[in-house]
Amino acid sequence: MILDINKPHKQVKMTDSVTNTQLINIELDSVAKTEVAMSVVGCANADVKSKLVAKNRKGKKYFFTSTPLKTILIPCLVGIGLLTVSCGSLPKESAEAQSQSPGARGRGNGATPVDVAIARTDLLQTQPEYTGNTTPFRIVSLRSQVEARLLSLNSDVGDTVTRGQTVGQLDDALLLTAYKQAEAELAALKSEVVRATTQVSNARADVERARLEVVQAQADSQRQQKLFQAGAIAQQAAEQARTQAQTAAQALRAAQEQVRTEQQAVAAAQGRVLAQQALVAEAKERRSYARLISPITGVVTEKVTEPGNLLQAGSEVFKIGDFNRVKVVVQVSELELAKIQVGQSVKVRLDAFPNETLIGRVTRISPAADATARLIPVEVVIPNSDSKIGSGLLARVNFETQTTQRVVVLQTAIQKQALQQKSNTANTQNQTGTLFVLSDAEGKAKVTARTVTLGKRADSKVEILSGLQPGERYVVRSGKPLKEGDIVSLSILSEKQ
């Protein structure tokens, strides 16, 4: 005996063994499916099938007559029926819930859903930014001026130095020796000047003595000439006196020439002294080169050598940067060159200080452009009195020329546009359009049509020259065409005041 599917409480008598086996398999499959759907019921298919097969093999003609098997199958079939009834009731309940949703009530009241934005002033187009790296306003290389060994360095990379500060020391032993030798030679030359001056004095004394002798000889010659004329002496004596006077005059001239010669010797010696004094000053100056002195006030950006190295004249020791001002060189397209001029103020942003905007100034525009990329180097200088900006920082330069900000709205907000001037002209101030402005009346959101004057357009935005004030709410897009006084409902994409 087996249970009838349509009438579980009745049993069907099976006479054919083959038919019995087929029906048993069908019942087993049905029980297995019931177990999957109702996992809460612990029905064991394998055990049931084994029992069914075992009883069938024993040749019994009636099946499922035992009470335990009935208690297994009847709850399974009842569970399937309950599950089917509960599933069938879900669509109806879901439809009722949807019919009671707030959106459905709103649509029933006739409010049109709209996206609303707030009018704000902004720049229609954002000027392109050009990137560059910050560098010191100037970089000076501190080099050795003499050949010497580097003994010590008093500064390192990152240290601030002032103009005239000693930052290193060279070995000055050879320089000191050369200086002392120059001083010794100077002393010797000075003694020569003294000796030549003495000789000049002696020559002047000889000149004075020769002058006296000339005076005496001339007097004697005149007396002998008178005595000769008087016949007191012979002519020979008078002539000898005249010759002695002439000889004395010649000696005077020789003495005077000697004075001039000695004076020239003194002048030459004094010249040699002056030359040696210059050599002494040079040796002293070269000795001062043993002290490495900063030529500017700035920050040490690079240390090239280390103490102990032998430096040649011109060997680099430090690089010192002047960070009182910082410059940025950017490559600007030739198409933008007409908008840039020397002295123009620009905005500079540094990635290192994202919340700060610096004001720089264009100081130089290169006269030569890159022939391949058509880019022109433009130099911008930024004040850096607090030395906060370092070298190598990424800078973004904006050559912003538009200063007046106007109300800017999305083009989708313009409902209709009518050109008052139909000719094709670049003057866009003659264009007008209509947009809907949101207003609250009796607790309901209504729209009012307003005519506005349009300006330039860019990036799906349009300038409003007149007709809309900052802070007013306007409709960006709506679910259906609007008209004056329509009641609307704000979507979740709308801006809130």
Which two structure tokens, joined as six digits, stand for 229? Answer: 């004329």
Q: Reduce the secondary structure of 225-281 to three states and give it as a string.
A: HHHHHCCCCCHHHHHHHHHHHHHHHHHHHHHHHHHHHHHHHHHHHHHHHHHHHHHHH
β-strand partners of 357: 349
CA–CA distance, 206 with 353 (Å, rounded to integer): 90
Of 50-54, 178-182, 198-202, least confident by mean pLDDT is 50-54
Residue 119 has pLDDT above 50, yes or no: yes
Q: What confidence score (pLDDT) does residue 23 get?
A: 44
pTM: 0.53
Pairing verdict, β 316-333 and 129-143: antiparallel
Contacts of 371 (CB under 8 A, 6+ apart): none
Q: With cut-offs at 50, 70 and 90, classify the pLDDT of residue 89.
A: very low
Residue 293 has pLDDT above 70, yes or no: yes
Q: What confidence score (pLDDT) does residue 366 get?
A: 93
Characterize 436-446 residue by residue with b for buried, 16 or more Cβ atoms within 10 angstroms of its Cβ, and e for exposed: bbbeeeeeebb
Average the pLDDT over 391-398 and give the result.
Answer: 93
CA–CA distance, 55 with 64 (Å, rounded to integer): 10
Pairing verdict, β 394-398 and 129-143: antiparallel
Question: How distant, in Å, are the alpha carbons of 8, 37, 240, 451 from that of 30?
Answer: 13, 11, 181, 74
Q: Dump pLDDT digits (tens) for 465-476.
A: 888 888 888 888
| Rg for the chain, CA atoms, rounded | 59
Q: With cut-offs at 50, 70 and 90, classify the pLDDT of residue 46.
A: very low
Residue 407 has pLDDT above 90, yes or no: no
Among residues 406, 407, 327, the alpha carbon closest in space to that of 360 is found at: 327
Distance of CA 323 to the CA centre of its chain: 15
Contacts of 171 (CB under 8 A, 6+ apart): 148, 149, 150, 151, 290
Q: With cut-offs at 50, 70 and 90, classify the pLDDT of residue 402.
A: low
Residue 177 has pLDDT above 50, yes or no: yes
Q: What confidence score (pLDDT) does residue 68 get?
A: 45
Tell me which of 460 and 497 has the higher pLDDT.
460
Among residues 289, 252, 264, 136, the alpha carbon closest in space to that of 196 is found at: 264
Element spanning 107, H or E: helix 102-109
Average the pLDDT over 358-379 and give the result.
Answer: 92
Which backbone phi and psi does 254 adopt, to 5 degrees? -65, -40
Q: What is the mean pLDDT of the chain?
A: 77
Of 59-63, 82-86, 114-118, 191-195, least confident by mean pLDDT is 59-63
Q: Dump pLDDT digits (tens) for 95-114.
A: 333 333 343 333 445 688 88
Q: What confidence score (pLDDT) does residue 162 get?
A: 94
Q: What confidence score (pLDDT) does residue 74 get?
A: 53
Tell me which of 435 and 9 has the higher pLDDT.
435
Q: Token pair 């809460």 is at which residue?
A: 40
CA–CA distance, 52 with 33 (Å, rounded to integer): 17
Contacts of 150 (CB under 8 A, 6+ apart): 144, 168, 169, 170, 171, 305, 306, 307, 308, 309, 310, 311, 317
Largest CA distance in the chain: 215
